[in-house]
Structure 1
Amino acid sequence: MKHLIATALIGLSTTAAWAENMIKASPLSVSETIDGLEAAVTGAGATVFARVDHAKGAESVGKSIPDATLLIFGNPALGTLAMEDDLRAGLVLPLRVLAYQDADGNTQMTWTPAEDLFAGLDIAADAEVVKKVNGALNALTDKAMSAN
């Protein structure tokens, strides 16, 4: 039974990893983009749970990677809708957006669209919550670039 549960959890986590992520270019630096996203998230009444500076983490172990910061955030109004359909949505919530410096030095934002995030769960790809989450992610990432 433990093996079955572990296999199911691995399958759920890799579903999102293999998804086609959304990518949006930002004219701002990674830090400015995440600052703008954080302002947009809190301005929309959502909660920021964590800001993870991956480059700083790499530096702490003597490594170097391009600038990359993850913002983890959520809103119970949306998250609860998903979890009412399938409590396992709690495995992929709260939402995450990564801002990073690409190989050309440009700032990009990336996230997993809701239909891929919830793939394998009892949440239809065309469910209202999927549309709302995607709409929120698009609006927040747009606002991130205009908040500064």
Structure 2
Amino acid sequence: MIKKVMIKKISYIIFSLAFSNSVLATESMISVESHATVKQTADRFEKILEEKGLTVFARINHGENAASINLELAPTEVIIFGNPKVGTPLMQCSKTVAIDLPQKALFWEDNQGQVWLSYNNPEYLKERHNIQGCDPVINKISGVLSMLSKAATSK
């Protein structure tokens, strides 16, 4: 069992690296390198969401919040967004996935000044919530998140 899980993890990482050296994948999160600032990337992402008819529930600027209490934090923002046409069928497969919905995208700058867009890996949500019989929904979410991320982070 452990060997099978390790092979799956290693295969996923190799697959991710083979298609882009600007994407970091972990078991639970996918991070895409951006060639713009945190604000520019988040602005692009939000604009694309609106153009695609997705609902933007909130945008949180953690950097500004930190500054309001005289603390420093590298640029860090979160956009909370979703679409009930996709989220509802997922929740019908597993009610507990609602704790991870609506979707969130994190825009952040690392210690070297590189900007990233990160989001929950839908495959991780599938495993976390033991979602069965919803592969088409998981695949659709994966595709949409990938498309949104690439569009928001490209030059």
User: What is the TM-score when the length of structure 2 is the normalising length?
Assistant: 0.77
Q: Which residue of 2 aligns with 1:40?
A: 48
| Structure 1 CA distance for aligned equivalents of residues 63 and 51 of structure 2 | 27
CA contact (8 A) 1:34 1:69 kept: yes
| Structure 1 CA distance for aligned equivalents of residues 81 and 97 of structure 2 | 14
| Structure 1 CA distance for aligned equivalents of residues 32 and 128 of structure 2 | 26
Q: Which residue of 1 aligns with 2:138?
A: 130
Unaligned regions of 5+ residues in structure 2, if any? 1-25
Q: Does 1:108 align with 2:116?
A: yes
The one-letter code of the counterpart of 2:74 is P
- Identify if the C-alpha distance between structure 1 residues 103 and 59 changes in structure 2 by more than 3 Å, giving closer, same or farther: same
Aligned residues between the structures: 130
**Match of residue 90, structure 1, among 98, 119, 122:** 98
CA contact (8 A) 1:48 1:74 kept: yes
Over the matched positions of the two proteins, sequence identity in percent amounts to 28
Deviation at 1:19, TM superposition (A): 4.1
Q: 1:1-148 maps to which residues of 2 (within 5 A)?
A: 19-124=27-132, 127-146=135-154
| Structure 1 CA distance for aligned equivalents of residues 129 and 31 of structure 2 | 24
Q: CA RMSD in A?
A: 1.9
- Structure with the larger RCO, 1 or 2 (CA within 8 Å, 6+ apart): 1
- Identify if the C-alpha distance between structure 1 residues 110 and 77 changes in structure 2 by more than 3 Å, giving closer, same or farther: same
